[in-house]
Amino acid sequence: PNGKTAAEVNVQLGLGYLQQGRPQLALESLKHAITLDPRLADAHHYAAESYRQLQQYERADDHFKKALKLAPDNSAIKNNYGVYLCDRRQYAEADRYFSEVIDDKYYSATAEALENAGICARKAGDSSLAKKRFRQALDHDARRAGSLYQLADLSFLTNEALVARVFMQRYFSVAQKNAQSLWLAIRIEHALGNDEGVRDYATVLYKNFPDSDEAKEFKKFWANQ
């Protein structure tokens, strides 16, 4: 059908399972695809992702390298390899791959790559690089919730509560409130001396997430005020 080889059909099947969160099943199709055609970069790419999810890191690394050898300019593979390297705490190497992805003018998911690079810089303990990456992500996609949240959190941690509030408000305009974001919003408003804001967010936290760790944290926090 439509000119796809059996190997390509198996790659599509594997990707489908991977997207459903079933890496073990994905691997059955992907290994079959690789047997049929060992030169399909995507087969190695998705196999690498499957192994990463299964925490079989040596195999993941092996397939990422094969995928990149077959498709050295593929930014989607580089982006995922960057995430993998960051998971393995190889931060400088990860950033090298993210930087290549960010420089690719034809790649459509630049904002995602920038956010990944920001998260990685943060794990590496480089807050200023992290902030820069998240801001760049927002230049590409102003409604990117993950980057807005990260900037609110980082700004709060570096005592820029007013900046944090702005990012928090932007975050709430694009994302559902959850216990984690409400707790951050409470601490930001407290830092700004806005008791009314603290009460408003706390009310939502207690109403919607009464059993959350954040609600318990708030209780302790409020008792000490």
Q: What does the pLDDT read at residue 2?
A: 54
**Which of 165, 166, 176 has the alpha carbon at shortest distance from 208?**
176
- What CA–CA distance (Å, rounded) separates 55 from 142? 33
Residue 168 CA: distances (Å) to CA of 8, 135, 148, 177, 194: 44, 14, 7, 10, 15
b or e along 58-92 (b: 16 or more beta carbons within 10 Å of the residue's beta carbon)? eebbebbebbbebbeebbbbbbbbbbbbbeeebbe
Q: What is the pLDDT of residues 32-60, one digit of tens each?
A: 999 999 999 999 999 999 999 999 999 99
Q: What does the pLDDT read at residue 3?
A: 64
What tokens does 42 get? 């995507």
Q: What is the pLDDT of residues 205-216, one digit of tens each?
A: 999 999 999 999
Mean pLDDT of the chain: 95
For the chain, percent of residues with pLDDT exceeding 90: 96
Predicted structure pTM score:
0.86
Q: What is the pLDDT of residues 142-188, one digit of tens each?
A: 999 999 999 999 999 999 999 999 999 999 999 999 999 999 999 99
What tokens does 225 get? 């005020």
How much is the average pLDDT of 92-118?
95
**Which of 171, 166, 121, 124 has the alpha carbon at shortest distance from 146?**
171
Contact of 45 with 80, CB cutoff 8 Å: yes
For the chain, percent of residues with pLDDT exceeding 70: 99
User: Does position 1 have pLDDT exceeding 70, yes or no?
Assistant: no
CA dihedral angle for residue 22, residue 27, residue 29, residue 34, rounded to 10 degrees: 150
What tokens does 136 get? 């760049």
3-state DSSP call for residue 64? Answer: helix
How much is the average pLDDT of 85-89?
95
Asked whether the CA dihedral 44, 50, 54, 57 is positive or negative, the reply is positive
Residue 213 CA: distances (Å) to CA of 56, 167, 190, 197: 32, 23, 19, 20
Q: What is the DSSP letter of 40?
A: -
